């Protein structure tokens, strides 16, 4: 009897200890939350309810709106503020929309970690998402593939790609077609042909059908990602992995990985036969893979190829889609740009990087298109505590491990930097030093990001953007009946037209 009493008392003690531990845990969490709230008190934001955070007000604000539209409306609500905060339950998310406030983060040598990103599951631990020494090693390895000498060597291949695109436009004979699909396929093929030298000349087994299959899977994956974002069930930790949406994602990723591995094996067989100078990105990766002390595995090479081809083609296609959309809306700008181009080139001319960079209005138009609708409107960071400046000369210290979203699209329209006409499409602003906000701070304009984690392929993308726009405008007049409200920009890793971009292209005489 005494033994049973002792056991019962022991159980009570255990329960008391567990209760005390749980209580201390709750108190500790509450104290940490209060400390974070205190440190972020200088930032405005949505109304924050206990436990629920900003979810109630976010539900009201986002009703019948797409994610990008919600972010833009919130940015306008806090248009005079460099940063604001929303609460996901007890977790804060700091959204920065001022280039000056982003600068300490983007120039930090330690603050280069990335928070969870919609593209992470797709791109894996590639250069885009790796951190620390892994990121530094891979960046150093791949940088030679994007030097100016390499870019200049792409001239012939760019011309062939664009002439093929012009021919595809001609097939529509003035009827409406989805320009977003065309630029996506062209950008995808071009990346395979240039960075990875998958031009089909070295192997009959690389057919157009395989290219189309790979691109089709990428489109399916992007569309599926939209469904994933809009699905409540996919967010549930238990049911989510078993939904049809997640099954489609796994099937697409499996196909991409298998096909990419197949391409690598063929490429390795033909590597010794290829004499390409300067070497392409695929050569740098394979050469590193063969070293005894290599920093890469075969899986790493697959991940990097998938990341560069798919992320690169999506961002390029996004930039081209919105550039042609703006040009179709603003016929006066399109005509002025065409005049500049035809004064310099013939419609079927091969366009070199030096010649394109010598065209001031083309440069202004592309910058303005990227300013208003950047291909990657927002990037996330989460790492060490860091102080950012506010408009009143004070600073706010963002605690460690708090998610920070750098809203690039907001910074590009921040009126305190760009003026009261920040929402207006006007390429001439880049011809006027007083209106070009880059002169005040280079971080006011960063369509491909800047700083240590700036886009490694920025010059590559810039060359292809300029060449594609120039080639198409010298041959066609682009029109559309769409408006920004009907085209619906959608944010899913990159910014794209949710329902495509229907345009007509009338051939110039």
Residue whose tokens read 């030298």: 197
**Residue 364, annotated ligand binder?**
no
**Residue in the structure block whose two tokens are 């529509």:** 172
Phi then psi for residue 338, to 5 deg, are -60, -40
Which residue, among 504, 72, 507, has the nearest Cα to 324 in the 3D structure?
A: 504
User: How many other CB atoms are there within 10 angstroms of residue 79's CB atom?
Assistant: 14
CA distance 391 to 379: 22
Query: What are 380's strand-pairing partners?
Result: 405
CB 252 within 8 A of CB 233: no
Torsion angle (degrees, nearest 10) of CA 35, 36, 38, 39? 120
Cα 50 to Cα 148: distance, rounded to the nearest angstrom: 54
Taking the C-alpha atoms of residue 247 and residue 112, their distance in angstroms, rounded to an integer, is: 32
Residues 141 and 437: their CA atoms lie apart, in Å, by 34
With 0-12 / 13-18 / 19 or more C-beta atoms within 10 angstroms meaning exposed / middle / buried, residue 285 is buried
Candidates 404, 361, 410; CA nearest to 383 is 404
Dump the DSSP string for 240-264. Answer: GGGSHHHHHHHHHHHHHHHHHHHHH
Q: Which of 99, 154, 464 is nearest to 316 (CA)?
A: 464
The SS3 call for residue 352 is coil
Q: Are 161 and 187 in contact (CB under 8 A)?
A: no
DSSP 8-class letter at 476: E
> Using alpha carbons only, what angle is made at residue 311 by residues 307 and 313, rounded to the nearest 5 degrees?
120
- Whether 121 and 103 have beta carbons less than 8 Å apart is answered as no
Structural tokens at position 51: 């436990």
Q: What angle (nearest 5°) sits at the alpha carbon of residue 248, between those of residues 245 and 253?
A: 130
Q: Are 419 and 435 in contact (CB under 8 A)?
A: yes
Q: Can you give 86-128 as a three-state secondary structure string?
A: EEECCEEEEEECCHHHHHHHHCCCCCCCCCCCCCHHHHCCCCC
Instruction: For residue 307, give the DSSP letter.
Output: I
d(CA 430, CA 41): 37
Cα–Cα dist 192/264, whole Å:
12
Q: Could you count the other beta carbons within 10 Å of the beta carbon of residue 449?
A: 18
Binding residue positions for heme:
455
Binding residue positions:
455
């Amino acid at each position: 009897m005494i033994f049973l009493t002792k056991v019962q008392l022991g159980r009570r003690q255990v329960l008391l200890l567990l209760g005390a531990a749980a209580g201390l845990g709750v108190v500790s969490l509450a104290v940490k939350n209060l400390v974070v709230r205190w440190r972020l008190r200088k930032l405005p934001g949505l109304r924050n309810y206990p436990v629920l955070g900003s979810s109630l007000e976010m539900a009201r604000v986002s009703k019948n709106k797409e994610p990008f539209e919600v972010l833009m409306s919130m940015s306008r609500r806090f248009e005079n503020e460099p940063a604001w905060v929303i609460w996901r339950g007890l977790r804060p998310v700091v959204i920065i929309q001022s280039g000056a406030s982003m600068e300490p983060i983007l120039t930090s040598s330690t603050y280069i970690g990335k928070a969870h990103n919609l593209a992470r599951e797709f791109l894996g631990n590639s250069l885009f998402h790796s951190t620390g020494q892994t990121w530094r090693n891979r960046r150093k390895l791949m940088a030679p593939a994007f030097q100016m000498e390499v870019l200049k060597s792409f001239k012939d291949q760019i011309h062939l790609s664009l002439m093929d695109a012009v021919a595809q436009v001609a097939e529509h004979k003035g009827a409406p077609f989805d320009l977003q699909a065309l630029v996506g396929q062209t950008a995808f093929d071009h990346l395979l042909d240039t960075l990875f030298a998958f031009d089909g000349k070295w192997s009959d087994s690389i057919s157009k059908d395989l290219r189309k299959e790979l691109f089709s899977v990428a489109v399916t994956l992007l569309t599926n990602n939209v469904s994933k974002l809009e699905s409540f069930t996919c967010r549930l930790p238990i049911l989510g992995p078993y939904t049809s949406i997640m099954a489609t994602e796994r099937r697409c990723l499996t196909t991409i990985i298998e096909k990419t591995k197949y391409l690598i094996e063929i490429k390795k067989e033909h590597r010794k036969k290829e004499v390409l100078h300067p070497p392409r990105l695929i050569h740098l990766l394979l050469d590193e893979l063969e070293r005894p002390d290599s920093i890469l595995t075969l899986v790493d090479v697959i991940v990097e190829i998938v990341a560069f081809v798919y992320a690169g083609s999506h961002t390029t296609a996004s930039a081209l889609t919105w550039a042609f959309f703006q040009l179709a809306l603003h016929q006066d700008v399109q005509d002025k740009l065409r005049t500049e181009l035809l004064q310099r080139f013939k419609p079927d001319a091969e366009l070199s990087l030096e010649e394109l960079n010598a065209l001031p209005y083309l440069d202004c138009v592309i910058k303005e298109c990227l300013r208003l609708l950047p291909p990657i409107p927002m990037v996330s960071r989460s790492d060490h505590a860091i102080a950012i400046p506010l408009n009143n000369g004070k600073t706010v210290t963002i605690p460690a491990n708090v998610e920070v979203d750098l809203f690039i699209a907001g910074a590009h329209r921040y009126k305190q930097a760009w003026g009261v006409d920040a929402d207006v499409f006007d390429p001439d602003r880049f011809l006027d030093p007083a209106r070009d906000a880059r002169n005040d701070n280079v971080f006011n304009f960063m369509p491909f990001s800047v700083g240590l984690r700036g886009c490694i392929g920025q010059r590559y993308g810039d060359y292809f953007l300029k060449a594609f726009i120039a080639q198409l405008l010298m041959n066609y007049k682009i029109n559309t009946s769409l408006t920004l409200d009907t085209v619906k920009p959608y944010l899913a890793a990159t910014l794209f037209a949710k329902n495509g971009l229907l345009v007509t292209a009338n051939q110039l005489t």
